């Protein structure tokens, strides 16, 4: 076979292979491009953690018995703003946050327009009783049913708080400690006149 | 040259291969989870720990993973389906928690796109092969028909036999030797716990442990099985593992008195008097049944807890006394109950003055603390000295002026008034104490043990 023949035949094979490669690569490239599009348009991991699927949804149940043995049901507080606060007695940010919750409770206790319910997270009732005896605070602290509530709210750590509107919808989530002014600001923003 | 094998021969060979494959699959496949514990473990492996990098809920030991595992156990024991559990967790933690993305919505693209890509590639390959073959047309139409028939039969046999094999494997996955084909071999966890109790009665501790283990496989959130598995483990000397079982039992059911009692005993044996006192207080608050009270009395847990608490409190006070300059109470690790216990211990060994000084030191950091004021008044009331008794009553009056429902104030003042022969006053305080929704059990016991109720009612 002469050299020009070999070149001509090689060129023909190359064109065929290229065409097949294009046919095979096309669906793969399309699939990969779509996957990249899906991943690129999603929120970052941090944004997803700071967000929550229950925001904008009806508040999951918070029901059971408190550390003083009294029954509690979040639904009984429909019509009020409620802070659902998940905490642990030995967590330092929870200890730092607690005076702010006390201040918030004192501001709203008389009017009864906003309440707090604390939910024990991975702690013992005895430790929590001692915590409230030392640090103050006179609001319901859910003990029985606390784990169900923590999992239903998707709690990832403590302290973690959710603001439930009078309609019963979860409107705000805070990872880490809250402040009394911060909560009031959120309520003020949500209830501001147009 | 030998001829091609007939379509029937090929069909038989294919059937044999598929049957062998199906039986192999049935033998190798683990089948569905055999017990609830297996199911919890399998589920926990299917979900990502929400706060850990690259760990499943099963692997992680952070608090949130522990709580999710415990809740999974409760759901599984309640008979909830995997789909229900998946829905609950995804609703709370978003789809990222699910290692098996759902087949709906945008997430379904994760499943669909690879299939589309594979299908596209396969289609291209088939098209190329067909076009290549058409260029080399062969006349043997009869032979082609036989091959096509053989292919159709092979595919049909593969589908039918494979499906049958899968069904057999699934239904026999949990079947033991001698078991029925239905695979239902379970006994209830209640029966196993009963069996464990019987074995324990005959002194067969290993058999009892094995039965409790089986019960926990069936019902991982059984507080009773966790409690007694922990208790037997502690009797074998493994206190740390026993504490883990008992902590799990308490997490499942904080109101199970047996778990509290055994946890107090284990804490005592671990040398942690403070934890033992906490568990005993929890036990007392549960209105325990008579058999548990008997067990408590037999094991002298109350006395041992009191002795350990006093020893701990005195050691803390002695450590403070050894310092050149005693720090403020608020700067120490000591809390009010420990300080009160130390004061009681000091008074018990005759150091009344030191006990009073200790509480005064606490009051410097916590002025007006009702518990400390009540404790100080109580020390004076018990001194036996009329003047100190009167001073003690003043302290208790101050406590009750600030909080008329302070339980310690009411009981201690009732005792003081009884000593002062003011029976009507003592009765009024005791009645106010009885009206409280939550009466500390130790104060209840104090009233009964010292005969106060009988004295004021006579």
What phi-psi label fits residue B178: left (phi over 0), alpha (psi between -120 and 50 degrees) or beta? Answer: left
Put simply, the chain B residues between 341 and 380 with a CB less than 8 A from any chain A CB are: 371
Q: Verify that A94 and A184 share a domain, yes or no.
A: yes
For the domain made up of B1-113+151-172, the CATH class stated in words is mainly alpha
**Domain spans in chain B, listed from the N-terminal domain onward:** 1-113+151-172, 189-299, 301-358, 368-458
B210 touches chain A (CB under 8 A): no
Neighbours of B192 (CB within 10 A): 23
Give the pLDDT confidence score for residue A14 in this predicted structure.
59
Interface contact flag, B121 A24, Cβ < 8 Å: yes
Q: Sign of the C-alpha dihedral, residues B89, B93, B97, B102?
A: positive
pLDDT tens-place string over residues A28-57 = 677 667 666 665 555 544 444 457 889 999
Three-state DSSP class for A149? helix
Give the pLDDT confidence score for residue B175 in this predicted structure.
37
CB contact at 8 A, B415 and B452? yes
Q: Verify that A81 and A162 share a domain, yes or no.
A: yes
Q: Which of B67, B227, B129 is nearest to A119 (CA)?
A: B67
For the domain made up of B189-299, the CATH class stated in words is mainly alpha
Neighbours of B158 (CB within 10 A): 15
Angstrom CA distances, B412 to B37, B46, B129, B397, B406, stand at: 51, 57, 98, 10, 10
Point out the residue among A121, A130, A156 whose CB comes nearest to the CB of B335.
A130
What phi-psi label fits residue B131: left (phi over 0), alpha (psi between -120 and 50 degrees) or beta? Answer: alpha
Q: Which of B51, B86, B81 is nearest to B65 (CA)?
A: B51
| Contacts with B339 (C-beta within 8 Å, 6 or more apart), sequence order | B313, B329, B358, B359, B362, B372
pLDDT tens-place string over residues B81-103 = 999 999 999 999 988 898 886 55
Q: Verify that A10 and A62 share a domain, yes or no.
A: no
Give the pLDDT confidence score for residue B304 in this predicted structure.
87
Beta strands A114-120 and A81-87 are parallel
Give the pLDDT confidence score for residue B186 in this predicted structure.
45
Q: Verify that A81 and A19 share a domain, yes or no.
A: no
pLDDT class for B272, splitting at 50, 70, 90? confident
As its CATH architecture, domain B368-458 has Alpha Horseshoe (1.25)
Please report, for the domain that includes residue A151, its CATH number.
3.40.30.10
Q: Which of A5-14, A88-97, B353-362 has the lowest average pLDDT?
A: A5-14
Q: Do the domains spanning B1-113+151-172 and B189-299 agree at the CATH topology level? A: no
Tell me what percent of the residues of chain B surpass a pLDDT of 90. Answer: 31
Phi/psi of residue B320, nearest 5 degrees: -70, -40
Interface contact flag, A121 B124, Cβ < 8 Å: no
Strands (E), B289-445: none
Domain count, chain A: 2
Q: Which residue has the higher pLDDT, A9 or B107?
A: B107
Q: Verify that A133 and A37 share a domain, yes or no.
A: no
Q: Which residue has the higher pLDDT, B378 or B14?
A: B378
Point out the residue among A26, A122, A154 whose CB comes nearest to the CB of B92.
A154
A30 contacts in chain B (CB < 8 Å): 116-117, 120
Q: Which of A43-52, A144-153, B303-312, B440-449 has the lowest average pLDDT?
A: A43-52
Q: Verify that A90 and A182 share a domain, yes or no.
A: yes
Reading the block at residue B38, the tokens are: 């297996």
pLDDT class for B72, splitting at 50, 70, 90? very high
Best residue in A151, A156, A173 for a mutation probing chain B (most B CBs within 10 Å): A151
Point out the residue among B127, B254, B438 whose CB comes nearest to the CB of A143.
B254
Q: Verify that A17 and A57 share a domain, yes or no.
A: no
Q: What range defines the domain where residue A10 resides?
A: 1-42
Q: What is the mean pLDDT of residues B264-293?
A: 84
């Amino acid at each position: 076979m002469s050299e020009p023949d070999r070149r001509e035949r090689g060129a023909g094979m190359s064109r065929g292979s290229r065409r097949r490669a294009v046919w095979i690569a096309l669906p793969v490239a399309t699939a990969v491009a779509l996957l990249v599009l899906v991943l690129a348009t999603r929120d970052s991991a941090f944004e997803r953690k700071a967000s929550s699927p229950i925001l904008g949804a009806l508040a999951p149940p918070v029901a059971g018995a408190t550390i003083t043995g009294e029954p509690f049901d979040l639904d009984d507080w429909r019509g009020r703003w409620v802070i659902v606060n998940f905490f642990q007695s030995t967590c330092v940010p929870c200890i730092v946050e607690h005076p702010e919750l006390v201040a918030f409770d004192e501001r709203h206790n008389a009017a009864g327009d906003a309440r707090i319910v604390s939910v024990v997270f991975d702690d013992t009732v005895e430790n929590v009783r001692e915590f409230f005896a030392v640090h103050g605070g006179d609001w319901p602290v859910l003990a029985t049913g606390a784990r169900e509530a923590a999992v239903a709210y998707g709690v990832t750590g403590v302290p973690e708080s959710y603001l439930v509107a009078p309609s019963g919808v979860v409107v705000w989530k805070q990872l880490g400690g809250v402040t009394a002014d911060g909560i009031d600001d959120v309520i003020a923003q949500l209830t501001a006149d147009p | 040259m030998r001829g091609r094998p007939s379509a029937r021969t090929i069909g038989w060979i294919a059937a044999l291969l598929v049957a062998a494959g199906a039986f192999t699959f049935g033998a190798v496949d683990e089948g569905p989870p055999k017990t609830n514990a297996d199911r919890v473990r399998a589920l926990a492996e299917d979900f990502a720990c929400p706060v850990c990098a690259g760990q499943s809920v099963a692997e992680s030991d952070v608090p949130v993973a522990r709580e999710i595992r415990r809740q999974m156990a409760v759901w599984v024991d309640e008979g909830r389906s995997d789909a229900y559990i998946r829905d609950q967790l995804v609703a709370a933690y978003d789809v990222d928690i699910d290692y098996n993305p759902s087949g709906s919505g945008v997430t379904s693209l994760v499943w669909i796109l690879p299939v589309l890509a594979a299908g596209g590639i396969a289609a291209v390959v088939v098209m190329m092969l067909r076009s290549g073959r058409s260029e080399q047309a062969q006349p043997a139409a009869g032979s082609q028909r036989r091959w096509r028939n053989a292919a159709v039969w092979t595919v049909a046999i593969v589908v039918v036999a494979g499906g049958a094999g899968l069904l057999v494997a699934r239904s026999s996955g949990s079947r033991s030797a001698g078991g029925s084909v239905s695979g239902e071999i379970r006994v209830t966890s209640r029966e196993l716990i009963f069996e464990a109790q019987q074995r324990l009665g005959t002194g067969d501790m290993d058999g009892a442990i094995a039965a409790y283990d089986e019960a926990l496989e069936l019902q991982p959130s059984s507080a009773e099985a966790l409690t007694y598995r922990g208790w037997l483990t502690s009797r074998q000397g493994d206190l740390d593992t026993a504490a883990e079982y008992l902590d799990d039992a308490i997490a499942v059911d904080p109101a199970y008195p047996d778990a509290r009692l055994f946890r107090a005993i284990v804490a005592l044996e671990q040398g942690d008097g403070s934890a033992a006192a906490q568990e005993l207080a929890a036990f007392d608050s549960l209105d325990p049944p008579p058999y548990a009270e008997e067990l408590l009395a037999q094991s002298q847990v109350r006395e041992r807890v009191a002795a350990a608490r006093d020893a701990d409190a005195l050691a803390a006070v002695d450590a403070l006394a050894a310092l050149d300059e005693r720090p403020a109470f608020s700067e120490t690790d000591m809390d009010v109950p420990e300080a009160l216990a130390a004061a009681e211990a000091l008074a018990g060994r005759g150091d009344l003055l030191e006990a009073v000084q200790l509480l005064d030191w606490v009051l410097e950091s916590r002025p007006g603390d009702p518990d400390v004021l009540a404790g100080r008044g109580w020390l004076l009331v018990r001194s036996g000295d009329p003047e100190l008794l009167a001073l003690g009553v003043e302290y208790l009056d101050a406590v009750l002026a600030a909080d008329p429902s302070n339980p310690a104030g009411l009981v201690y003042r009732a005792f003081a008034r009884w000593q002062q022969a003011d029976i009507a006053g003592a009765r009024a305080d005791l009645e106010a104490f009885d009206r409280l929704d939550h009466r500390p059990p130790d104060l209840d016991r104090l009233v009964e043990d010292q005969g106060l109720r009988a004295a004021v009612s006579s």
